[in-house]
């Protein structure tokens, strides 16, 4: 029972942190904060407590397996045994675990998922869902149509694609709305990478539907969480900006939609693979330097991950994680911030035996978001290109949105910790 009290205090802590960081405390609209929290709790209760929704998420397992198998057929055909096909030589059983190659077997899922997303958008399935979510957000949180559509779109698309869907309205959005839009991008994840998380987390949670259900849930809950935190840190002044959804790039048919989705997916795959390669190298180099110039702590060399682990430890306790596990959990959050959530989830799987089941679920939610330093650069580049006249404003909001996006995901994880 004590962890529930711990998490309840944590909710107040993260809201207080946003309040302290607010640039205009007098204009914070408390009723929308309360509405947003209620909205978050409703989604979390449905996912964690209502069996119908649990069965729905579990049934996703068959669809995921079919998609993974279909993708494996493609990767096997193109990459051979590197892509998951049979090897032309015998592999000892103790080496089978090393047969998995991220760039050839997991990341291609993003290309397939991107193509499907583009096709579903063309068939008006995703726009209907986005508009439905947007209407709920507008009614419960008092936001405008442009921000409603942008924040709802972030559940499906990354921070580089979402602004395209409301491009005509970007130059008219208030500073607060722009900040909220960026924060939603930081706090959510794109549908194209969700299946990659499933692949990575499968050794920890064998039921793929269970993993995907919670990842979708995390992205959904993080939207009102991001709107709450961002509108506390930078309250809305003036009128809300209305809006409508646009296609982004026009497509002439379903094959054109698939082709566009494939091209987008390939760009994402190349970007992520290159980012993983470079960041791994740079972090390793930084850790080598830190180990050479800083003294050991408790008999171990300091690394970027361990430093952020110490910094994030108190925050992990407020999320409902036992004190004996906060260092490890803090290190995972540090990895997510410095590198990205893919690295963090991989470390999560490796070190999961040191975490309780309660903490595992909290971290599954806490790590689910794009809030990292690399995403700040992506956001500045994307929005700076779409609205060059607001480039300086976007730059000034970049690091602030990294903080707000991180607090938003922590708040969501804390709610899960309270209900779990």
Residues near 29 by beta carbon (within 8 Å), at least 6 away in sequence? 142, 231, 235, 236
Three-state secondary structure along 16-36? HHHHHCCCCHHHCCHHHHHHH
Number of domains composing the chain: 1
- Res. 42 pLDDT band, cuts 50 70 90: very high
Q: What is the structure's pLDDT at 81?
A: 76
Structure tokens that stand for 344 in this block: 């963090």
SS3 assignment, position 300: strand
- Res. 314 pLDDT band, cuts 50 70 90: very high
What mean pLDDT value characterizes the chain? Answer: 85
- Res. 270 pLDDT band, cuts 50 70 90: confident
What letter would DSSP give residue 98? G
Q: What is the structure's pLDDT at 47?
A: 82
Angle at 401 between CA 30 and CA 141, to 5 degrees: 30
Q: What is the structure's pLDDT at 162?
A: 82
Residues near 400 by beta carbon (within 8 Å), at least 6 away in sequence? 179, 233, 234
Structure tokens that stand for 36 in this block: 């947003």
- Mean pLDDT, rounded, for 84-103: 65
Q: How many helices and strands in the chain, by DSSP H and E?
A: 17, 0
What letter would DSSP give residue 66? H
371-415 per-position pLDDT tens digit: 988 888 888 887 887 788 998 999 899 899 999 999 999 999 999
Q: Would you say residue 272 has pLDDT above 80?
A: no
C-beta of residue 178 within 8 angstroms of C-beta of residue 390: yes
63-89 per-position pLDDT tens digit: 766 777 788 888 888 888 777 777 776
- Mean pLDDT, rounded, for 24-39: 92
C-beta of residue 177 within 8 angstroms of C-beta of residue 144: yes
Q: What is the structure's pLDDT at 308?
A: 80
Angle at 342 between CA 282 and CA 87, to 5 degrees: 95
Q: What is the structure's pLDDT at 319?
A: 94
Provide the phi-psi class of 368: left if phi over 0, else alpha when psi is between -120 and 50, else beta: beta
C-beta of residue 68 within 8 angstroms of C-beta of residue 195: yes
Q: Which one has a higher pLDDT value, 55 or 150?
A: 150
Q: What is the structure's pLDDT at 417?
A: 92
C-beta of residue 40 within 8 angstroms of C-beta of residue 412: yes
207-262 per-position pLDDT tens digit: 777 888 889 899 999 999 999 999 999 998 878 888 777 755 678 888 998 898 88
| CA–CA dist 86, 83 (Å, integer) | 9
| CA–CA dist 413, 203 (Å, integer) | 21
The whole domain housing 72 covers 2-419
Q: Residue 104 half-sphere exposure, CB side, CA atoms within 13 Å? A: 15
Q: What is the structure's pLDDT at 9?
A: 95
Angle at 366 between CA 212 and CA 408, to 5 degrees: 110
110-154 per-position pLDDT tens digit: 788 778 878 888 888 888 888 888 888 888 888 998 899 889 888
Q: What is the structure's pLDDT at 416?
A: 95
- Mean pLDDT, rounded, for 276-289: 83
- Mean pLDDT, rounded, for 29-48: 91
Q: What percent of the chain has pLDDT over 90?
A: 34
């Amino acid at each position: 029972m004590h962890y529930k009290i711990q998490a309840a205090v944590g909710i107040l802590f993260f809201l207080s942190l946003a309040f302290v960081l607010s640039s205009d405390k007098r204009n914070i609209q408390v009723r929308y904060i309360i509405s947003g929290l209620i909205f978050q709790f409703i989604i979390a209760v449905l996912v964690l407590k209502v069996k119908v929704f649990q069965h729905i998420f579990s049934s996703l397992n068959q669809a995921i397996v079919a998609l993974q198998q279909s993708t494996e057929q493609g990767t096997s055909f193109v990459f051979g045994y590197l892509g998951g096909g049979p090897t032309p030589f015998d592999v000892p059983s103790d080496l089978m675990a090393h047969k998995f190659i991220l760039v050839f077997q997991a990341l291609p899922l993003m290309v397939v998922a991107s193509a499907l997303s583009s096709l579903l958008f063309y068939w008006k399935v995703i726009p209907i869902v986005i508009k439905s979510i947007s209407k709920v957000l507008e009614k419960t949180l008092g936001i405008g149509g442009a921000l409603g559509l942008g924040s709802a779109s972030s559940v499906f698309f990354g921070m580089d694609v979402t602004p395209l869907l409301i491009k005509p309205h970007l130059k008219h959005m208030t500073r607060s709305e722009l900040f909220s839009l960026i924060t939603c991008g930081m706090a959510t994840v794109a549908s194209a990478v969700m299946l990659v998380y499933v692949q990575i987390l499968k050794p920890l949670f064998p039921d793929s539907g269970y993993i995907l259900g919670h990842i979708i849930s995390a992205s959904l809950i993080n939207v009102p969480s991001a709107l709450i935190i961002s509108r506390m840190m930078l309250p809305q002044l003036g009128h809300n900006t209305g809006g409508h959804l646009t296609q982004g790039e026009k497509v002439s048919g379903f094959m054109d939609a698939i082709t566009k989705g494939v091209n987008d997916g390939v760009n994402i795959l190349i970007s992520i693979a290159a980012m993983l390669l470079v960041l791994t190298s740079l972090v390793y180099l930084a850790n080598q330097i830190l180990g050479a110039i800083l003294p050991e702590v408790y008999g171990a060399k300091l690394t970027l991950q361990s430093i952020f682990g110490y910094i994030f430890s108190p925050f992990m306790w407020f999320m409902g994680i036992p004190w004996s596990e906060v260092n490890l959990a803090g290190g995972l959050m540090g990895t997510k911030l410095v590198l990205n959530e893919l690295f963090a989830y991989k470390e999560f799987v490796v070190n999961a035996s040191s975490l309780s089941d309660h903490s595992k679920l909290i971290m599954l939610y806490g790590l689910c978001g794009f809030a990292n330093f690399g995403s700040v650069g992506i956001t500045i580049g994307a929005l700076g290109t779409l609205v060059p006249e607001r480039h300086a404003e976007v730059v000034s909001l970049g690091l602030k949105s990294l903080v707000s996006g991180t607090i938003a995901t922590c708040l969501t994880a804390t709610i899960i910790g309270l209900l779990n």
